Amino acid sequence: MTGDGSKEILTLEEVATYLRLTPQTIYKWAQEKRIPAAKLGKEWRFRKSIIDRWLDEQILSSDSGFEHLKKDY
């Protein structure tokens, strides 16, 4: 793994821990393409930098109520 974390690859369980959700939720979202993921064989993998960007987009989306923060972001 790299020191800057920009290319860090996470497992489904690691993403669940990182986002404080259950692995079942992450698995379901990955299958439904609700969270950016790649299926390698039978395993799901996630790039941490993309998950971070995705989370920012979720927080700053128009239906989150925090869209006004985009200009400061």
pLDDT digits (tens, 9 = 90+) for 26-52: 999 999 999 999 999 999 999 999 999
Higher pLDDT, 68 or 17: 17
2 within domain boundaries: no
Average pLDDT over residues 8-19: 98
CB 15 within 8 A of CB 26: yes
d(CA 29, CA 41) in angstroms, rounded, equals 18
* Model pTM above 0.85: no
Q: How many domains does the chain have?
A: 1
Percent of residues, the chain, with pLDDT higher than 70: 81
Percent of residues, the chain, with pLDDT higher than 90: 68
For residue 61, what are the domain limits?
9-72
Residue 14 has pLDDT above 70, yes or no: yes
Give the start-end residues of each E strand in the chain: 9-11, 38-40, 43-47
3 within domain boundaries: no
